[in-house]
Amino acid sequence: MFRRLKPQGQKIQIFFDDQEIEAIEGENLAAALLAADVTHFRSNPVSKQPRAPYCMMGACFECLVEIDGQSKQACMIEATVGLKVGTLKDISGVDDE
Amino acid sequence: MGSDYAIVGGGIVGLSVAYGLLNLGETVTIFDEGDLAFRASRGNFGLVWVQGKGMKQPAYAKWSRNSAALWKGYAQELEEATGQTLSLQQDGGYGYHLTEESLEQEIKDYTWLKEQLGGDYPFEVLRLNELKKEEPNVGTNFAGAVYHPEDGHVNSLQLFRALAKEVRRKGAKLVTSVTIQKVETAASGFRLTDDSGKVYESEKLVLSAGLGSMKLGPLLGFKAPIRPQRGQVMITEKIPKLMNRPSDTLRQVNEGGVQIGASAEEVDLDDRETPATLAKLAREAIQIFPDLAHVKTVRSWSALRIMSPDGLPIYQESLTCPGAFLVTCHSGITLSAAHARLLPLWMEGSHTAPELDPFGEDRFNV
Ligand SMILES: Cc1cc2nc3c(=O)[nH]c(=O)nc-3n(C[C@H](O)[C@H](O)[C@H](O)COP(=O)(O)OP(=O)(O)OC[C@H]3O[C@@H](n4cnc5c(N)ncnc54)[C@H](O)[C@@H]3O)c2cc1C
Ligand code: FES
């Protein structure tokens, strides 16, 4: 669905929910995931609706993913070799009704 | 020809009063300054709150309860008219206390207040074990809470939006991005002059300009002894339900974020944020809900409260310019229902108007 404007650069592997994805080193992580056809980044914890990046500039927090057990804005992070990214799990200790 | 009422200040207070006046069949023109103004209505906590109001002045406790009781019907009416959801929840709320001393003091104060009100003031004290039944996610490292069954919260930005939409639909004229610089009496009422020199006229005038009333009030014979008080607030990322009811420092909004606040700082007209204050708010929040330690804040902001010397609202008709009313308060969300339903009756001199003497300016005479 999304196409890179400038596909040059060092090809690397990253992981989304344990699935290997090809990215370009240093590119915007949210863009890399979108380019790999990941469109469901997380589910809204209240409405449970699927969510994906919206603003691509750090303002809307729709692009949150989990990295090293923490929620991070994918659009504010660069893709690096072997980066492990996952969909956000519910915050630990908080029951999900 | 002017309209019946000129309303100077289109914050939550001005819009609530405008809505009420329109319902009585009056015509209104609302003047508002625009984005550069200090606007408490855009930065508040969103509580419809009775707890803590009028701890030294039972009339204010009563007035807040009146408004809380009117809220449900008021919100329903606005929702039906505008198709917007206000997310009002009035299922009780807590005042958390970190230390036993502060809880004990609060119990004393509420006991006094209840006595003053002839026993008609509901509250309960919840120690940690009882609180845990209501709020399973609270921690163990604080004293407990005072529970007030009439407390609640609302999406105050949606309220603001709904009111703005509805007053327009009911025919209010909105003049925005103007600063009213001069207000004076004229042959048949009032004359207002804006910053471009443009002149407007009206029969009556409501001064609801928030902090702007400090300047305009004296022109109409009001004391308007108000001052800004800064409140800093932050909100977390959206999380699954963590808490069932709001408190005066923590509430989970309908979209899932947890709002944490608000500080009370005497810093004049300075609405900047300070990391140290935000950190303190966060620490106290974590003390009550330890899970919050894993949750990120996504935004913080600060806004200026409009405070009177005793914290009570001011409702005063000018003694020197009859027909001009000063309306200001530091709980404009809570009181929005009363301002819409009851204040206009007072302005119109109706015999069903509420008793507002305790909120007049003569209480500031020394
Ligand atoms: C941090 C914080 C938390 C709060 N939490 C709560 C809460 O939980 N519950 C609650 O009930 N209340 C709360 N409040 C208080 C509540 O927000 C205020 O009582 C309310 O917003 C006041 O509304 P207002 O219309 O009087 O003032 P404002 O919102 O300040 O509006 C005044 C308006 O007047 C206009 N104006 C000023 N001067 C002029 C002029 N010369 N010409 C034309 N227009 C002018 C401005 O443009 C502005 O829009 C909180 C406040 C703060 C700061
Ligand atoms: S897409 Fe909006 S913050 Fe990342």
One digit per residue, pLDDT tens: chain B, 366 residues? 446 999 999 999 999 999 999 999 999 999 999 777 888 888 999 999 999 999 999 999 999 999 999 999 999 999 999 999 999 999 999 999 999 999 999 999 999 999 999 999 999 999 999 999 999 999 999 999 999 999 999 999 999 999 999 999 999 999 999 999 999 999 889 999 999 999 999 999 999 999 999 999 999 999 999 999 999 999 999 999 999 999 999 999 999 999 999 999 999 999 999 999 999 999 999 999 999 998 989 999 999 999 999 999 999 999 999 999 999 999 999 999 999 999 999 999 999 999 999 999 999 987
Among B135, B234, B238, which would you mutate to test the A interface (most chain A Cβ atoms within 10 Å of its Cβ)?
B238
* Pairwise CA distance, residues B185 & B191, whole Å: 6
| A41: three-class secondary structure by DSSP | coil
> CA–CA separation, B97 vs B99, rounded Å?
6
pLDDT at A95 over 60: no
CA–CA separation, A64 vs A74, rounded Å?
Answer: 6
CA gap B38, B366 in Å, rounded: 30
Question: What is the pairing mode between strands B297-307 and B180-186?
Answer: unpaired
Query: How far does B164 lie from chain A, in Å, by closest CA?
Result: 25
Is A94–B242 a contact, with Cβ atoms under 8 angstroms apart?
yes
Q: What is the dihedral of CA B259, B17, B49, B249, to 10 degrees?
A: 30
Atom of ligand 2 nearest to the CA of A61: 3
Angle at B364 between CA B363 and CA B366, to 5 degrees: 105
Q: Which two tokens stand for residue B100?
A: 């036993």
Residues contacting residue B337 through CB under 8 Å, at least 6 positions apart:
B16, B67, B68, B70, B71, B74, B75
CB of A56 closer than 6 angstroms to any ligand 2 atom = yes
Q: Strand, coil or helix: what is B144?
A: strand
Nearest atom of ligand 2 to the alpha carbon of A55: 2
CA B115 to ligand 2 center in whole angstroms: 53
Provide the token pair at B154. Answer: 């609302």
What's the rounded Cα separation, in Å, for the pair B160 and B88?
13
Q: How far apart are CA B12 and CA B332, in angstroms?
A: 6
Q: Which residues contact B29 (CB under 8 A, 6 or more apart)?
A: B2, B3, B5, B6, B7, B172, B173, B174, B175, B200, B202
* In contact, B267 and B338? CB cutoff 8 Å: no
pTM, 2 dp: 0.92
Query: Class for domain A11-85, per CATH?
Result: alpha beta
Closest residue of chain B to A93, computed from CA coordinates:
B291
Straight-line distance from the first to the last Cα atom of chain A, in angstroms, rounded to the nearest whole number: 34
Q: What is the pLDDT of residue B51?
A: 96
Report the alpha-carbon distance of residue B161 to residue B173 in Å, rounded.
16
The pLDDT, as a whole number, for residue A90 is 65
Rounded Cα gap, residues B323 and B280, in angstroms? 46
**Is B239 in contact with A93 (Cβ distance < 8 A)?**
no
Q: Check residue A94 and give its pLDDT.
A: 47
Q: Do B291 and A94 touch (CB under 8 A)?
A: yes
- At B39 the pLDDT is 87
In DSSP terms, B146 is beta-bridged to B95, B125
Residue B247 identity (one-letter amino acid) = S
Classify the C-alpha dihedral B31-B35-B39-B43 as positive or negative.
positive
Helix (H, G, I), strand (E, B) or coil at A3: coil
Instruction: Please compute the mean of the pLDDT values over residues A22-39 and round it to a whole number.
Output: 96
Beta carbons of B117 and B157 less than 8 angstroms apart: no
The confidence score (pLDDT) of residue B52 equals 95
> Is residue A91 very low, low, confident or very high in pLDDT (cuts 50, 70, 90)?
low
Substitution target in B239, B288, B292, B301 with the highest count of A β-carbons within 10 Å is B239
Task: Supply the DSSP string of A51-66, one letter for each residue.
Answer: E--SSSSSSS-TTEEE
B3 Cβ partners below 8 Å, 6+ apart? B27, B28, B29, B173, B202, B203
pLDDT value at A21 more than 70:
yes
Q: Where are the strands (E) in chain B, listed by range?
A: 3-8, 28-32, 47-48, 93-97, 124-127, 144-148, 152-153, 173-176, 180-186, 189-194, 199-207, 227-238, 250-252, 257-261, 297-307, 314-317, 324-328
Which of A39, A61, A71 to mutate to test ligand 2, by most ligand atoms within 8 A of the CB atom?
A61
CA atoms of B247 and B38, how far apart (whole Å):
25
What the block records as the tokens of B184 is 């004076």
Residue B140 forms contact with A (CB below 8 Å): no
Query: What ipTM goes with this model?
Result: 0.76
